[in-house]
Chain A
Amino acid sequence: MMRRVWHVLLALALAMVLAVVVLDFRSDEAIPANATPVEGTAEQVQRGLYLATAGNCMFCHTAPGGVPYAGGRPIDTPFGTVFTSNLTPDDATGIGTWAPAHLWRAMHQGRSKDGHRLFPAFPYPNYTHVSREDSDAIYAYLRSLPPVRQPNAAHTVGFPYNTQVALAVWRALFFWPGGTITDPLQSAEWNRGAYLVQGLGHCNACHSARNLLGGSVGVLDLSGGLIPMQNWYAPSLASPDEAGVAAWDTRDVVALLRDGVSTRGSAIGPMAEVVQHSTQHLTEADLRAMAVYLKALPQEAARVIDPAASSPSGRETVGSRLYSQHCAQCHGAQGEGVAGAYPALAGNRAVTLDPPANLVRVVLLGGFAPSTAGNPRPFGMPPFATVLSEEDVAAVLTHIRKSFGNQGHTVTAFEVHRYRTN
């Protein structure tokens, strides 16, 4: 009897190993023996620059204050710090010896030139949907950069997550190598938007929850998630109470992605980075396509709001006193804001978001919307981290979440403490 149990367990273990191996190597393409570095055409280089911008490649692959694309920016993950790699065509430290097929395999299958599995901090679960033609154009652009000799920094990811076996398991569970996704029933514009949002835009790298192993359920999921280590919440694009844009005018979605501000909301925190380095540089047609796709995402039902339940009691509280003292000057006594300068808090979805991470961080850190061609001189909010205690922040946030017609939950000092750190 005991022996039979052992046989079953052994067979199960073998089956799992086999499954990992098979899933890990799905559609693994061999690199042609004659694959050598090639120079692209001028058109490819120009198109590659645009596509690399759509993928926001430069922001991650440039150290703060460093040479563009020479790598070295630390990406903090729950498993340790991953340092981005040098993408300039330096033979010794960059990708100077790579052929187009090598970049294609990295994008498509998350493997480096020597075949080792890359950390998915490089969003290849998204880039796997980028076309070969676009991958080759990005290659041509990177190849056109001046080579920079800058050795890649060693990652500090801990055991066992730093092993190829762990990455093989991760890939078996959470990586679906794919091709370009098209839906013949949808318009060309929708398909273009889907391609950008799911692929190069890698929107769901933030706008989707990650499980304990850092996996998400797939590129179609944009239902929101707390960004690991950063403690900003990327709101759901599938919820009318969060960042869903089904009810927005297409022009407002385009304005947000292009200018960082729109009449319906503004970008701050990590989304300001995305607008600044990526979306503001995209063509109007591509932004419209993304808007069309995002507007068509299936939406969850909206929360039922009872305006009567939010009527202010009129009593002065710690929160209302702090609001008058610190916030009302810009955001208005009734949370009405100043058009074009300070966002209204009344009816603002960002105010009632759960978790209240972004609200906590905006109050503590202050900030500016991104400087863009459409909004070159944004108005700023001062940081209150050195002025207000965690109890004070909780009180004033609770006040704005329950006033001006807003119906949000109470914010506790514990939550302020939790979301302030990164």
Chain B
Amino acid sequence: MLVSQTLDIVTTAAILYVVAAGLLIVFGVMKIINFAHGGFLTMGGYSALAVSDLGLNPVLSIPFSFAVGTVAGMAVERLVVRPLYSRPLDAILATWGLGIIIGQVITLIYDRGVHFVQSPISGAVLVLGEEYSKYRLVMVAVAIAFGGALALILHGTRLGLVTRAVIMNEDLARGLGIDSGLVRFVTFSLGSGLACLAGALITPLSSVDPSLGISWLVNVFMLVLVSGVSLFSLGVAAIVLGGAQVLISSYANPVYGSMAIVILAALLLRVRPRGFASE
């Protein structure tokens, strides 16, 4: 029980991390919560479905969903988000509406039915004497790769440097000649790409239907709020709050467990407004 519970916590945190990463970087740069994140997750699920319908290797859904999300993100940033830069509240509303539109367009193309994507990895593997789902373990590696790649971009590239400058003080960065509009464009596209990729990555664990992303949106929204803009504190938040969800589900019941992240995050923000962020 102890082994499987530890694995449950680690894998749940990993999945939350993967799903939340795209939302976090958009929030960091643009200071808006992208409510279309749920729509992009759904889009990713359907990208995986399209790959599987064409009979291609399921691994191809990784680059394909990332490309779909990035291109969609570029269009959305240019047409919807950019005109609303000076009105952040309206921008949040616009992304909310956009999420609904994405869901409806998908419904028009694919109907409301539940679809099913073949998993590239299936079955269980023996870990310390416990049978455990292989795919959930793979998600831990994926989460580490997500975090590592994003950290590398932010701290090891020129793009990362200017992005961090925009995150810290956008006006000052602009004063130094940094094209903050371009940084926003790139970040939003990358965040959308990551959201879509995450949507494709969770399909082996869930069904593909028009509300695929909605069930994740509230939880990852709370996670991002308590982690500030740090990739590291997002990891901490995912482990602590995801762990609380698993433990409450096991020892109380799953109905309470499903509310754990939202309630605990709200309480945490009340006593410590900066959440898990270090400064």
The finding on whether chains A and B are genuine partners in a shared complex, rather than unrelated, reads no
Interface residues of B (CB under 8 A from A): none
Interface residues of A (CB under 8 A from B): none
